[in-house]
Structures are given as structure tokens and as C-alpha cells.
Amino acid sequence: MNGGYMDLHRGAESRRPGDKFGKAEARNRLLVTLGGTAVLLILLGVVLLLFVGISRVDGSSMYPTYNSGDIVWFRRGGEDFARGTVVSLNMPGGDRYIKRVVAVPGDTVDIKDGRLFVNGRAVREPYANGVTEADPEGFVTYPCKLSKNKYFVLGDNRRKSVDSRSFGPVASAQIQGRILGQH
């Protein structure tokens, strides 16, 4: 019995700090922790790439909601975007715009007397800065009936925005996703 105690005692002694066995065990624990952290970071990166995008606001077209230089993140995906939703758009030529959806497929858009009308009703827009005027050089004739998969988007800063008044309705395929927040 006493010999068994001594064997246990010697085993405990061999795990003292500074002992080779203790250092190897600590190193293994550190490697497992670092490996687990690396796997989690890789998984997080994959999730972000697949489901979340990041965009930079360039210019004052979304002021006061967003300022030039703000970084926004958006949820990727082709969902039905409701009126009032702020979205990230891919435009021809590779430009990215941040705009607000003001009309959805099937809606009729009109702009008159400095106001936006959707389906014959004036739209209350507490987020809008300035009056809404048609772009005389734009490609839109009013009233504008939106076809399937087409959205009408405007910048909140109406005097400083290039939007659907200029380039027309955007296809759902151009919408990268809904803005979730900003940094």
C-alpha cells in the first residue's frame, strides 16, 4: 500500500511547473486553443462572406441618414424589399450605391409639385432632405409603372442624389441586400 502511495506521489511530482511533461501539456493546450480559435474565425469569415456584405457610403446622397465615409453592412440575399428599406445596389460599371426603396414592383410612381406619389398617394417621408423633383435629363417618364422585379430607389438627400429619377427603376438582381447597420 505504501508503495502505491509512493508511485502516486512520484507521478504528482513529475508534473511540477518547469517539468518537461508540464511544459508539453501546456503547449498542447495552447495549440488546441489557438486551433479552435482559428477554426471559429474561418467559420465567421465564411458566414460573413456568404450572408453579410460591407459597403462604404460615398457622397452625401443619403444624408442625414448616412454620411459620406460611413461604413454600412448589409444582409445579402434576394428578398422582397419593402418600401422604406435602405439597400446596397450594384450599378453598371461597378459602382455601389446606397439608396432607399420608395416603390416596389407593381407600384406607380409620380413626382409633382415637389412631392413623391406612389399609387396616387403622397408619400410621407420624414427621412427626406429637400423636395423631390423629377430629373429633366433622366430616363423616366411619369407616371412610371414598375414592372415585375423593378424597384424605384431614391437618396434621402434629394438635391444631391443620382437615383431612379436619373437612371430609372433598378432590377432586383442589382440589389445586393438590405442595410443592417453602420459603423
Where exactly are the structural domains of the chain? 2-51, 57-182
pLDDT in tens, 7-58: 454 555 555 555 566 788 888 888 889 888 999 999 888 877 778 888 899 9
For 81-112, give one letter per residue: b (16+ CB within 10 A) or e.
beeebbbbbbeeeeeebbbbbbbbbebebbbe
The dihedral built from the CA positions of residue 49, 50, 56 and 58, taken in this order, carries a sign that is positive
Residues composing the chain: 183
Average pLDDT, stretch 49-73? 92
Active site residues: 61, 99
Q: Which of 77, 73, 68 shows the shortest CA–CA distance to 156? A: 68
pLDDT score recorded for residue 178? 94
Both ends of the chain: CA-CA distance in Å? 67
pLDDT at 108 over 70: yes
Cα 52 to Cα 38: distance, rounded to the nearest angstrom: 20
- HSE toward the beta carbon, residue 88, CA cutoff 13 A: 24
Question: 57-182 maps to which CATH number?
Answer: 2.10.109.10
